[in-house]
Structure 1
Amino acid sequence: MGSITNEQYRYPDDIYDRAWEAYNDDDYAKLSTSDSVDGDGSNRYQPAPIVMKTAATPKKGSKYLNFTWYSANDNDKFYAYMYFAELEKLQSNQFRGFNITHNGDYWDGPIIPQYLSTTKSYDFVSTIQPASTHQFSLFPIENSTLPPIMNALEIYVEMQISELESYNGDVDAIINVRSTYGIIKNWEGDPCVPRAYPWSGLSCSSDLVPRIISLNLSSSGLKGEISLYIFSLPMLQTLDLSNNSLTGEVPKFLSQLLYLKNVKLENNNLSGSLPPDLIKKKMNGSLTLRSITREKMNLHSSIYIYSIYVHDKNIFDDSVDANPNLCTLESCTKMTPEQKKSNNNFIIPVVATVGGLLAFLIIVAFIYWIIKSNKKQQGKGVALPVDPGSFLEKRRQQFTNAEVVLMTNNFERILGKGGFGMVYYGVLDDSQVAVKMISPSAVQGYHQLKTISPFSQVTILMRVHHRNLTNLVGYMNDEGHLGLIYEYMAKGNLAEHLSDKSSSILSWEVRLRIAIDAAQGLEYLHHGYFGLSKTYPTDDKSYMSTVIVGTPGYLDPEYYTSNRLTEKSDVYGFGVSLMEIISCRPVILNTPDRETNYIVKWVHAMVSQGDIKNIVDPRIKGAYDSNSVWKAVELALACVSVDSNQRPTMNQVVIELKDCLSMELSQRSESRPMELKDSIEMMSISMVMNASHSSPMPR
């Protein structure tokens, strides 16, 4: 305000790179000083010091200093910040004090500016009518001898963001990177959200929960070693640290970032040798070498390893300016026999459906047992020994391909299709069954699985019996044909009963009972004698690097970083399914709006608006207790929390759902005794949302 140069001031005058525009009005007089103006010690976001050296004041004959702006959107909300500093040395008989109004209503005051010291005034302003006028008026208080002044003004509009915030682990990591190197950029707020305005130098994924996939810190004045915090950005595909003053060795963790495709390290002061793991990637054929020409890279020669650029002194000894102390592949690094051993990282397909962890373990254990058995027979001519007390000993549980063809009437009736293959209807000993045929692509992926005990898992899984879980009744391994045989769900799946084609509409009470039954099934898997924790390897040195197979929308976001299914992954999938039960909407919505095309996003948006009626299936027509619905929706949101540590256990989910049912029953009849049944007597419906992406339908 009152600028005498009409220039715009940004960085380096403002360390946050805010754009300070000169604003003058014909009704303003200008004040200025050449002295420095002290900042407001309580305000982290100080205005640029240079803008505080000028001020606007009413011209002689006027007592009011007015500032006006317009808003075309009645939903816009604003934050206004005003800054004041007395620029004149007042005499003993002079005094400046004033109040501020917004559209005629008191806003702040009295303001008494201090000599060459910043005073801030701020408040929250909401528009009332579309295209309304916003006028701030500053006018002297009764005993003021001087008119009001204003040095600077900031106005921010509050953006309504329906996007989910960035993954917490990525946020923590990039903030630590910023602190480590003292990076001075416009890195404030969420790194990836709004998606149109990511932090400078960052690129983010388009996933439901945004992930940082590219980090460009080239020519950023970085000093010290390559920060370990970069390893906490596991989805990185591109990393550019070129043209800095980095020292130390090239860290081993670069080879452990599974998705990293492009890393630039030239023009630093790195030393030591290239990590053996990077060399190993080249030797096993997963890396390629290519020459980077002087004209293209401004380097005499570079080795390109997994898109990692390092200077090659063996080819051009006269050019060592890139990383003069960095030894390269050919010149000084030899692999030890231990380094030549293959690592324990395997790629296996996984299925992510409701209750999918059970089906996943069955198939993993089954196929792995088959593979190991075949290897034993081929390598030593000895069959895999069988525990005499196990279920696998019983011939009736293993079937030939011919028997399965007869069982399914030559695969006549398709029940559905999942990530592992087709599901067919069959009849076994006058009982209906569902046969899941394992596709060749899934089988091929399992040939590298070596971390799960093959035999104990199948034995355990075939012993699992719970009224809300599908029973595995047999399997097939015959000349490359693999299959699993389940009990058949004769009454259809939940998706059919929720659909518009269903002859009956499920009441809110029935939906809650269904959810409780499904939750109790998962609770049994997690905490019963079966114990999922007993089926996973506990060696921290082993981990599974997975290729995701299954239905989009159900997969735990943390799976992308941990590459493991956990109990909390099931909780996430259950939360998505609970949203489907409540709303009768599909996981992926048919809408062009990418911000709400997943049910999790859509529910978040509805809740943020306080809109519960539009979340609930409209066919229920309000026949529910609103408190019960709210509690169920909040539980579903808790289950899909981005941070798995914030998700409840299935024990807690069951308890909360029973509370929801209690509220519903109490609302319907205060005098009716409350009964919490363990299952629905009127029908038995599996927690399978869609046969096209689920395990075979149970009874």
Structure 2
Amino acid sequence: MLEAIVVVPDDFVQVCLVNIGSGTPFISALELRPLKRKLYPQANATQGLVLLGRANFGLTSASESAIIRYPDDLHDRLWMPSVDATSWTVISTAKKVQNINNDLFEAPSKVMQTAITPRNASDNIELFWEPSPLPRDPSLGYIAIMHFSELQELRGAVRQFYINFNGRYVDVFTTELLYSEATYNVIPIRGYTRYNVSLNATANSTLPPIINAMEVFSLIPTTNVGTDSMDVSAITAIKARYHVRRNWMGDPCFPKTLAWDGLTCSYAVSSAPRITSLNLSSSGLNGDISASFANLKAVQYLDLSNNNLTGSIPDALSKLTSLVALDLTGNQLTGSIPSGLLKKLEDGSLNLNRYGNNPRLCTDGNSCQSVKRGSKLTAVYVAVPAVLVAATVVALLLCIRRRKKHGPMDSSVKPQIVDGNSSLLQHKNRQFTYSQLQTVTDNFQRVLGKGGFGYVYEGFLEDRTQVAVKLRSSQASDGSDHGVKQFLAEVEILTRIHHRNLVSLIGYCKDGEHMALVYEYMPQGTLQQHIAGNGGRCLTWRQRLRIALESAQGLEYLHKGCNPPLIHRDVKLDNILLNARLEAKIADFGLSKTFNHDNAQVATNTIIAGTYGYMDPEYRRTGKPTTKSDVYSFGVVLLQLVAGRPATQRDPEPTSIVQWARPLLAQGNIEAVADRRMRGDHDINGVWKVADVALSCTAQQPAQRPSMTEVVAQLQECLELEKGGRAGGDTSGSFYTAGSGDYPYSGHTMSAARNSGVVSQESSSAYEMEVEHNLVGRVPTMPTGPAPR
């Protein structure tokens, strides 16, 4: 039996059992349990949890009847009894144990009503587990969750203990009477041949430590292992519509060796597989041509020949912009070939010379004519809103289809640019006329801001959705043609990138000389306004950390999640917008460029563009932007968040914030750098760490700078350490007490924990968790840790 907790971004989940060289896969049962989205925050869009062990301490029987599950646990988790009467004393209560506020795990009261403590009051509780990586798929690390509750009225006695992990002091812990509390590690634990956890009474404690329950999970990646969700929905509908009798089971494209018969898929590194060819020739298809074929947006070759298809050819097929060959030979189709397909035949972009043996099919309403051969088209990307569902999967789970909520864009997405002054922008975003924008903005009454492109106005759509309208002025950029190209570039990019930390494009206007972009409204304005102190409000240090992390995630997506990837080229405070919840989104993609994955550099030289004070010196010297150019600019942003100063300052000569801060930090003078307006509302160690990340980002040599993925990881740790510090514990071990504060907003971040330990391992019986089976074990007493602070 195997249990996994995964985030399913679509309305379906594919469970795939693959032979990895150890024998033919089989399955006896598959069960799904929906979970609240807030539960187990370590499971996110990029990783899932596989249960290594879940122990319920304090029971006196290891029988099957002692297993706690539904209805005691509303999520039907199986809490296995762990019994060792020779080493532990059992503590129990019949009273209900309450969960703390914002509990992330909801351990059931019946589990928390029992606990263990050492028989000898001077002893420690020692637990361990050993790694058991999957063949060819080593774990990304381990997450340990420990559950505590005081079950006795202490009447003046004190129960306080600290936690050691592999001999390293982590945190001090005090239980609360009849309240369930959990601690867990924020950073996955890895690299040990054995994982030891020790609970030790402090010098002030008159009672030994206790523990009620424990869980250990290994992490598995869930990125890019499943076919694009829109393609899955379309091919599944086709299968159901025509009762296709082929070996069509599981995920259509993944794994490659098990792709569905008749399908050819593309496998890009940073995006989900797409169906590019579908051969249903001689498959016994009856009835009309389903509209679901038109939802296979990446399909290039579609063969429906030698079936019994009737009715007319749907015009929707002309919307398949990647389609280069369509075979309809040998059916009973009637009517005319749609005008959209005829146009593609005439311009040579579609090959439809295979439509014979359809005696009633004509190219127009009166006669049947031959058609021209063609070549290929470009594809249009359509994003489908994803539904986040959390599920507990009880089965052998070795691969799960997965796709991000706003998935990576298809590599073939390109608008057709006819010349420098016009565009056939093919996308699903709304196109406005200039007169409509006048209505939306009440004739451009309220100005929200102004940039190089032009003024930004407040507007309201028909349903009262608030929007921001960026109207290009006639004086924008250095010339009319350049401004048009910048406009087209931004529309092209925004119609094919989707991420929670990138500003969303609602629509655009290309009406004669009038050009405008319609964005989602960001009521808190730019990050520049907040750092500059406009409005009198000063961001707290934690708010700054979250904004930094969310901005970094947006840039990481541009560098890693897009296909082709993008270099922003103008990262600065003015281009980081904040919504009503102060969540950050990167904006302004007019200068962005695609780049080559191999060297993270744009394919050709470009005009140097950007903002002084944020611009990478190496980029200024060579004229070749790279991803490390964005990293440099983001380092400047981080320094501004730390110091609350502009990117360039005059005191008395023009000086960049990097030149100003670097010598002060080299002297260890962080107090002189930190923004005094925060009034000490921060952990100075956390500020130090962010400043250090900023210095790494702004290193002179690009090779010495981290990637945005590395920056995201470091900022996640900074935010977790800040939260752990606010919870009152020592955060040196990156541990966090669940319920002591809000957990991170980011899908990238895992809520941290204050201690790590859970026991579990191989067992000859699903109902036993004893020492001899290495699920819960005792180890020799470890050295006493330092006295708690």
Give the shorter-chain TM-score range.
0.3 to 0.5
* Larger RCO (CA within 8 A; separation ≥ 6): 2
* TM-score normalised according to structure 1 size: 0.38
Q: Which has the larger radius of gyration?
A: 1
